[in-house]
Amino acid sequence: MMTVFHWECSARVCSRVPNDRLPPTAAELPAEDAVWIDLSEPTEDEERAVFERFLPVHPLTLGDITKPRREPDQGAHLPKAEEFPDYLFVIVNPLPPGLAVAARKKLAADPGGEPDPAAAPALALRAKDRPQLSAVLTKNVIVTHHYKPLASVAEVAGRLDRRGEVARHGPDYLFHLILDAMVDEYAPVVDRVSARLDGLERKVFGDPSPDVLARLMRLKRIVAGLRKTLILEREVLARLTRGEFDLVDDREIVYYRNVYDHLVRYTELIEGARETVGDLMQTHLAAASNRLNQVMKLLTMISTVVLPMNLIAGIYGMNFEASVVPSYHAPWGFAFALGLMAANGLAAYTLFRWRRWV
């Protein structure tokens, strides 16, 4: 589906326009106007109409844009920013659709529990599940392209419907709004990860079971996926804030810097979560090893107490009647053997208490 917003500078109004009202090429647009074309789950005909006729792009750019459709098993392209003579090309990887909302609801309902099973594939942040948002910017045109509905794009589109004059700042400002909404989606997810870490930390020290270790491993994969995406997107935002690209106006750099600051904060939180997960896994292994040592210690003490009793019983069970004290026929022999066993066990227990082993 192709959605077009057109800011007409002469009329000072921004509105959605039908696709057929676009000029044949972007070069025919008035220099003061601004156009945002959003391609959401587009067809191949729509892609050709925009990227081959209206705003021709380099074949390598078109290949990167359509990579999720052409190579579904490979997944989305990693974040990047690349400048061409007549346009700026940027790729970012937003969160999977609905993940931020699911994390926010789960955080409010059960801060330390398991994630929603329906959101589990998205939580894993696997490469093939990661969305791709591609953007092509010129002086007065921005084209966004994505194969999955994105909340950040829908949020900015709704903002233009309510306050169309925002578009007068140009494509670079509109792209900043999309990036800002995209980065803000990380807040509930990062908070959810932190809440789950707190819950798992209590379980690690209270009951270091195999189930806790499995949950730590799942959380480690989530954190690793978030970290990889955040680090690459941080590099893209860093380039946008350094004034490397002529198509990002100096007046807009301060807005990109604000988005960059938010992204850096989330990246640092995820880095801290990554270290915490590693520490908790080490703690879990140490706690499980300590529990095993305690069990082995108890079994060893029981064996130490019982083994001499078996020795005494074995000696009196060898059926040698001569030179046996007391004699097999002595009326107090059985009581003597039991007393000897009890005395041996009591001596062993006294030794354990004296050495503070129990």
Per-residue confidence (pLDDT) for residue 115, from 0 to 100: 44
Last residue of a domain, one of 141, 164, 187: 164
Whether the Cβ atoms of residue 341 and residue 308 lie closer than 8 Å to each other: yes
Q: Mean pLDDT, to the nearest integer, of 255-281?
A: 91
- Residue 200 counted as domain residue: no
- Residue 107 counted as domain residue: no
pLDDT at 103 over 80: no
pLDDT at 122 over 80: no
- Can you tell me the distance from the alpha carbon of 37 to that of 224, in angstroms, rounded to the nearest whole number? 33
The domain tally of the chain equals 2
- Residue 183 counted as domain residue: no
Q: Mean pLDDT, to the nearest integer, of 166-180?
A: 91
Beta bridge partners of 7: 14, 34
**Confidence band for 126, pLDDT divided at 50, 70 and 90:** low
Per-residue confidence (pLDDT) for residue 324, from 0 to 100: 62
Q: CB-based contacts of 153: which residues, under 8 Å, 6+ apart?
A: 38, 40, 133, 144, 146, 178, 181
- Residue 143 counted as domain residue: yes
pLDDT at 74 over 80: yes
Per-residue confidence (pLDDT) for residue 322, from 0 to 100: 59
Per-residue confidence (pLDDT) for residue 143, from 0 to 100: 95
Per-residue confidence (pLDDT) for residue 7, from 0 to 100: 85
- Residue 123 counted as domain residue: no
**Confidence band for 291, pLDDT divided at 50, 70 and 90:** confident
CATH of the domain at 19: 3.30.460.20
Per-residue confidence (pLDDT) for residue 116, from 0 to 100: 43
Q: Mean pLDDT, to the nearest integer, of 101-126?
A: 53
The model's pLDDT over 128-146, given as tens digits with 9 standing for 90+, comes to 678 999 999 999 999 999 9
Per-residue confidence (pLDDT) for residue 123, from 0 to 100: 47
Per-residue confidence (pLDDT) for residue 327, from 0 to 100: 63
Its domain, for residue 324, covers 316-354
- Residue 320 counted as domain residue: yes
Last residue of a domain, one of 115, 142, 164: 164
Q: CB-based contacts of 331: which residues, under 8 Å, 6+ apart?
A: none
- Residue 266 counted as domain residue: no
CB count in 10 Å sphere of residue 232: 15
The model's pLDDT over 213-238, given as tens digits with 9 standing for 90+, comes to 888 888 888 888 888 889 999 999 99
Last residue of a domain, one of 111, 139, 164: 164
- Residue 303 counted as domain residue: no
**CA-to-CA dists, residue 343 to 211, 251, 340, angstroms:** 44, 91, 5
